[in-house]
């Protein structure tokens, strides 16, 4: 007999192991189910009410045919189905033992009976069965060692128990983690630590506060707990905390739902906001202040960040000094810091008007800010130190009118030992002046209005000077001209800066008296001759005086050295030396020692060269004696004449190649004719195609030829009164110029096209009296398709319907000239045929244009305003027949009574 307990309403299984053929237990009566296992069939009875899976039953007794309720130690009640195998032969079938045999109810695992039972009584079993579970495939470890056998072996067949966790332990996780319990649980205890859950550390590591939280605190939801697919965001668990307004109204200041921006897993209370990120970093005393101290009313956004928004009461209550009365700024950081409220320090240095330095730094505020006034105080020295100023006697500031600006002499470091910065006056002290006592210059304590010139102090030294005597020599009384403040002796005169004669070269070495004889300095002449006349007169190579050299020595000499003089011909004369002129000796051009007045023209030196020239002979050819016309100073030979620049006949094309003699055949150059015929008459006369002479061509070859190429001459007909256009362009010259006649050829159309005019039949031009000016209808582009411009060529422009009519419509007899232009000449038949109204009977004028237009013949309208009876008012809309009865128009009375 075997037993099996399961939860009410669940499917029946064999000992909690393998599924088989089963029936739901829906009532409290015993039912049967068969399970195939190891080729044997077992029969189980089960009750549907309150079976207990977690505990052992208290006790039970065999009964042959009765169902008995048994109560578990936990209070659960189950119905135990008992049945004797012998009483169920139909169910046991082949499993019924044969007579004389006993079947072992424990299946294939057959330990010794004494391992569990005693000889005293088969039931109950021994409290501690003597069975080594390690001899099976499932060694007992951990909590398994203390579990009662019946907890796992719910049937008598011991081998029917599986070794997998799920065989005994229902999957409370609803298959969220798979069938392997060992991934999280162990045999040492059913409860699991967060560290044992491997996947938890990968996706959401449990640290600090999270590590101690019960799993169900987060994994809850519905009938079964959820373990997979949960969000890792803070808000998924802490939404209620976030929305709670008890401590901080998070939503009021737009705090994000990412809790870890302020909180940590170490502890939920005491969340820290990075206040620096708000633009108002907390430092000093602000760090330890409770949030609510500033964020009153749970208000966190749009708070005023100025000091006064929190500290205005403190500001108003302060008496030392009275902030309000003193007009101090309510911007506390002007004096206070967040580190310490007391002992506020005003940064006087930050005020551009009066930074505190030296002795001012140690003075208490009230010494200057008397009567508790801080704003608008004067910053000048006298506002505080006027008594000191007036009490000073060495020197007496008031007597000598020393300015009340103390800082001119005093400094804040030390009041005594005042020093006056003489640099702020027009007289800067330097050199020996620096160490002189003030009284040496400021005698009788006179400080204002003293002269700054040297003589005001040094007149005695000036008058007593003997080397040289300053006064007789006319030396300036401005001592600084020669002396300096560094040392009185060893005076040096700056000749370059003080005079118009700077000393250079050899002038630097002589003593002053070498030039300033008789101790005369002022008014000394600066020209060379005043000192060097003797040198000038004695010069022999060349003799300066005889040759008239200028007495301005610097023209050839320099102060560096007297000998080796050089005359700069380029800057000193109007004849700069270039090319071959540079190495020539002076005497080669300046004969007889004559320098002044030497002529600069070429002929003055090169007349002999000019007269001797034979290729060509310059004199005979009338060449200019200005050698530079063909020659240059670089080389005499190879002279070249610039025909383009020197004459009115520039050489171009083929003219550039011939030698000079080709045109200047007789050796004559000056006055050579520049017209074409003077050289090309023979060419002109010899031409036959066409014969230039016979045809009367002009002898100006340039009319048809160019200097680039003689052949292929082309005449520019546009230079005549008959430019060629259209079909005229491609014609040969002889087409129009018959018999080789060019000059005087007529340009009227008839002179060439008379035969065309006379031969035309559509229409016959001559009979029709057409003009012989072909251009009236034809153009040079195409002869056919002539078009007559009726608008500009006649007094009868074509408009409207007249433009479409063919010429013959009006010019029916082929007569064009003299055709009448009045309407009746063409439209009399139309006039006579009109019946509505009858124009002829009504006496209408034959001038059709009075009523009709060329745009449309029909719908003629008469302009009544051209008569003596213009239509106005009600007359305008009337039909003609209303007034003109019987078709009578002419002579209709215009008086009212007639109608």
Residue-level pLDDT at 16 = 37
* CA–CA separation, 144 and 303 (whole Å): 65
Asked if residue 401 lies in contact with residue 446, where contact means CB atoms within 8 angstroms, the answer is: no
Q: Where is 168: in which H helix or E strand?
A: helix 165-168
* CA–CA separation, 492 and 409 (whole Å): 35
* CA–CA separation, 677 and 693 (whole Å): 12
Going by C-beta distance under 8 Å and a sequence separation of 6 or more, which residues neighbour residue 600? 573, 574, 575
Instruction: Render pLDDT for 337-380 as a digit per residue (tens, 0 to 9).
Output: 888 888 778 888 877 788 888 888 888 888 888 877 787 788 88
* CA–CA separation, 311 and 850 (whole Å): 106
* CA–CA separation, 320 and 298 (whole Å): 34
Instruction: Name, of 267-271, 692-696, 721-725, the range with top average pLDDT.
Output: 721-725
Residue-level pLDDT at 7 = 35
pLDDT-derived band at 34 (thresholds 50, 70, 90) equals very low
* CA–CA separation, 471 and 462 (whole Å): 8
Length of the chain: 899
* CA–CA separation, 25 and 883 (whole Å): 126
Q: How far is CA 515 from the centre of its chain?
A: 73
| Beta pairing, strands 18-19 & 31-37 | unpaired
C-alpha angle 26-27-32 in degrees, rounded to nearest 5: 80
Asked if residue 149 lies in contact with residue 129, where contact means CB atoms within 8 angstroms, the answer is: yes
Helix, strand, or coil (residue 829): helix
Per-residue tokens: 222: 């519905």
| Beta pairing, strands 2-3 & 40-46 | parallel
* CA–CA separation, 177 and 228 (whole Å): 8
In the block, tokens 């008789």 appear at 518
Instruction: Render pLDDT for 403-453 as a digit per residue (tens, 0 to 9).
Output: 888 888 888 888 887 888 888 888 899 999 988 888 888 888 788 788 888
Q: How far is CA 23 from the centre of its chain?
A: 84
Q: Say which range, 185-194, 744-753, 815-824, has the weakest mean pLDDT.
A: 185-194
Higher pLDDT, 872 or 730: 872
Residue-level pLDDT at 198 = 64
Q: What is the DSSP letter of 134?
A: G
Q: How far is CA 155 from CA 106, 526, 897, in A?
A: 8, 148, 147
* CA–CA separation, 668 and 665 (whole Å): 7
521-537 mean pLDDT: 88
Residue-level pLDDT at 31 = 33
Dihedrals phi, psi of 57, to nearest 5 degrees: -75, 155
Asked if residue 621 lies in contact with residue 668, where contact means CB atoms within 8 angstroms, the answer is: yes
* CA–CA separation, 757 and 777 (whole Å): 12
Instruction: Render pLDDT for 452-470 as a digit per residue (tens, 0 to 9).
Output: 889 888 998 899 988 888 8
Higher pLDDT, 253 or 756: 756
Q: Which of 153, 151, 155 is nearest to 45 (CA)?
A: 155
Residue-level pLDDT at 28 = 31
Q: How far is CA 672 from CA 639, 660, 663, 665, 886, in A?
A: 20, 12, 8, 10, 101
Per-residue tokens: 217: 């605190």
Residue-level pLDDT at 101 = 56
Instruction: Render pLDDT for 470-510 as a digit per residue (tens, 0 to 9).
Output: 888 888 888 988 898 888 887 888 888 888 899 999 898 88
Q: How far is CA 237 from the centre of its chain?
A: 50
Q: What is the DSSP letter of 512?
A: H
Does pLDDT of 60 surpass 80?
no
- State if pTM tops 0.75: no
Q: Where is 201: in which H helix or E strand?
A: helix 198-203
Q: What is the DSSP letter of 448?
A: S
* CA–CA separation, 295 and 285 (whole Å): 16
In the block, tokens 């030196």 appear at 605
Asked if residue 788 lies in contact with residue 763, where contact means CB atoms within 8 angstroms, the answer is: no
Does pLDDT of 870 surpass 50?
yes
Going by C-beta distance under 8 Å and a sequence separation of 6 or more, which residues neighbour residue 162? 17, 18, 168
Rg (CA), the chain: 71
In the block, tokens 């009865």 appear at 885
544-568 mean pLDDT: 84
In the block, tokens 């309150």 appear at 50
Instruction: Render pLDDT for 584-643 as a digit per residue (tens, 0 to 9).
Output: 888 888 887 778 788 889 988 999 999 998 888 888 888 888 898 889 998 888 888 889
Q: How far is CA 251 from the centre of its chain?
A: 42
* CA–CA separation, 273 and 689 (whole Å): 113
* CA–CA separation, 209 and 268 (whole Å): 8
Beta bridge partners of 70: 78
Per-residue tokens: 89: 């032969």
Going by C-beta distance under 8 Å and a sequence separation of 6 or more, which residues neighbour residue 884? 837, 842, 892
* CA–CA separation, 598 and 465 (whole Å): 55
Where residue 14 falls (left for φ over 0; alpha for ψ -120 to 50; beta otherwise) is beta
Residue-level pLDDT at 71 = 37
| End-to-end alpha carbon distance in the chain | 147
Residue-level pLDDT at 199 = 67
* CA–CA separation, 47 and 54 (whole Å): 16
Helix, strand, or coil (residue 880): helix
Q: Which of 562, 401, 284, 417 is nearest to 409 (CA)?
A: 417
Instruction: Render pLDDT for 172-221 as a digit per residue (tens, 0 to 9).
Output: 777 777 777 877 788 887 777 666 676 677 778 888 888 878 887 787 76
Residue-level pLDDT at 737 = 85
Going by C-beta distance under 8 Å and a sequence separation of 6 or more, which residues neighbour residue 558? 505, 565
Q: How far is CA 400 from CA 62, 433, 750, in A?
A: 141, 22, 121
* CA–CA separation, 483 and 493 (whole Å): 8
């Amino acid at each position: 007999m075997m037993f099996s307990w399961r939860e009410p309403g669940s499917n029946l299984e064999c000992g909690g192991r393998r599924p088989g053929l089963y029936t739901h237990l829906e009532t409290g009566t015993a039912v049967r189910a068969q399970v195939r296992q190891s080729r044997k069939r077992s029969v189980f009875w089960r009750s549907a009410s309150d079976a207990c899976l977690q505990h052992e039953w208290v006790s039970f007794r065999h009964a042959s045919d009765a169902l008995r309720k048994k109560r578990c130690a936990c209070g659960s009640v189950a119905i135990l189905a008992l049945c004797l195998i012998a009483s169920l032969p139909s169910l046991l079938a082949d499993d019924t033992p044969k007579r004389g045999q006993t079947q072992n109810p424990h299946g294939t695992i057959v330990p010794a009976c004494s391992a569990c039972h005693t000889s005293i009584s088969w039931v109950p079993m021994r409290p501690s069965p003597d069975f080594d579970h390690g001899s099976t495939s499932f060694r007992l470890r951990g909590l398994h060692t203390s579990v009662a056998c019946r907890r796992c072996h719910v049937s008598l067949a011991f081998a029917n128990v599986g070794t997998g966790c799920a065989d005994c332990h229902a999957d409370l996780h609803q298959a969220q983690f798979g069938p392997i319990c060992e991934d999280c649980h162990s045999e040492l205890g059913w409860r699991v630590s967060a560290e044992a859950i491997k996947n938890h550390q990968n996706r959401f590591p449990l640290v600090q506060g999270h590590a101690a939280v019960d799993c169900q605190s987060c994994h809850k939801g519905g009938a079964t707990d959820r373990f997979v697919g949960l969000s890792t965001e803070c808000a998924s668990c802490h939404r209620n905390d976030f929305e709670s307004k008890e401590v901080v109204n998070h939503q009021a200041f737009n705090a994000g739902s990412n809790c870890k921006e302020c909180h940590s897993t170490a502890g939920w209370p005491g969340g820290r906001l990075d206040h620096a990120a708000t633009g108002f970093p907390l430092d000093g005393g602000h760090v330890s202040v409770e949030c609510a101290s500033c964020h009153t009313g749970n208000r966190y956004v749009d708070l005023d960040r100025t000091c006064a928004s929190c500290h205005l009461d403190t500001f108003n209550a302060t008496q030392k000094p009275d902030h309000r009365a003193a007009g101090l700024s309510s911007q506390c950081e002007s004096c206070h810091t967040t580190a310490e409220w007391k002992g506020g320090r005003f940064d006087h240095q930050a005020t551009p008007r009066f930074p505190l330095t030296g002795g001012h730094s140690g003075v208490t505020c009230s010494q200057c800010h008397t009567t508790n006034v801080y704003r608008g105080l004067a910053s000048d020295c006298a506002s505080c130190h006027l008594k000191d100023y007036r009490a000073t006697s060495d020197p007496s500031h008031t007597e000598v009118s020393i300015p009340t600006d103390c800082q001119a002499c005093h400094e804040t470091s030390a009041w005594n030992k005042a020093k006056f910065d003489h640099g702020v006056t027009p007289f800067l002290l330097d050199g020996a002046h620096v160490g002189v006592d003030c009284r040496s210059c400021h005698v009788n304590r006179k400080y204002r209005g003293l002269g700054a010139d040297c003589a005001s102090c040094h007149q005695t030294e000036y008058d007593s000077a003997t080397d040289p005597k300053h006064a007789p020599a006319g030396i300036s009384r401005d001592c600084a001209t020669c002396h300096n403040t560094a040392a009185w002796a060893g005076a040096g005169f700056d000749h370059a800066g003080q005079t118009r004669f700077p000393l250079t070269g050899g002038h630097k070495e002589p003593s002053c008296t070498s030039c300033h004889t008789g101790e005369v300095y002022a008014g000394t002449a600066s020209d060379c001759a005043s000192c060097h006349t003797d040198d000038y007169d004695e010069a022999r190579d060349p003799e300066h005086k005889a040759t008239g050299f200028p007495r301005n020595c610097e023209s050839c000499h320099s102060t560096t050295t007297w000998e080796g003089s050089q005359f700069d011909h380029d800057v000193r004369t109007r004849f700069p030396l270039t090319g071959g002129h540079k190495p020539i000796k002076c005497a080669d051009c300046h004969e007889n020692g004559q320098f002044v007045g030497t002529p600069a023209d070429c002929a003055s030196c090169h007349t002999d060269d000019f007269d001797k020239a034979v290729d060509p002979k310059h004199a005979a050819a009338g060449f200019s004696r200005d050698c530079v016309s063909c020659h240059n100073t670089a080389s005499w030979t190879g002279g070249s004449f610039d025909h383009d620049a020197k004459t009115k006949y520039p050489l171009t094309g083929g003219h550039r190649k011939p030698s000079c003699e080709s045109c200047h055949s007789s050796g004559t150059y000056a006055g050579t004719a520049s017209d074409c015929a003077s050289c090309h008459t023979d060419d002109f006369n010899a031409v036959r195609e066409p014969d230039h002479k016979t045809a009367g061509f002009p002898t100006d070859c340039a009319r048809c030829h160019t200097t680039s190429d003689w052949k292929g001459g082309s005449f520019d007909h546009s230079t005549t009164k008959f430019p060629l256009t259209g079909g005229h362009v491609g014609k040969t010259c002889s087409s129009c110029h018959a018999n080789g006649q060019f000059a005087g050829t007529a340009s009227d159309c008839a002179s060439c096209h008379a035969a065309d005019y006379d031969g035309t039949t559509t229409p016959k031009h001559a009979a029709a009296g057409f003009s012989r000016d072909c251009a009236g209808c034809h153009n040079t582009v195409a002869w056919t398709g002539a078009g007559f411009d009726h608008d500009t060529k006649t007094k009868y422009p074509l408009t409207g319907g007249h433009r479409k009519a063919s010429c013959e419509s009006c010019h029916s007899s082929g007569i064009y000239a003299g055709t009448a232009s009045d309407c009746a000449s063409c439209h009399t038949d139309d006039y006579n045929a009109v019946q509505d109204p009858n124009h002829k009977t009504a006496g209408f004028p034959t001038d059709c244009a009075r009523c009709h237009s060329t745009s449309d013949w029909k719908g003629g309208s008469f302009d009544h305003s051209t008569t003596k009876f213009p239509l106005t008012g009600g007359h305008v809309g009337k039909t003609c027949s209303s007034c003109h009865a019987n078709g009578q128009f002419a002579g209709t009375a215009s008086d009212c009574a007639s109608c």
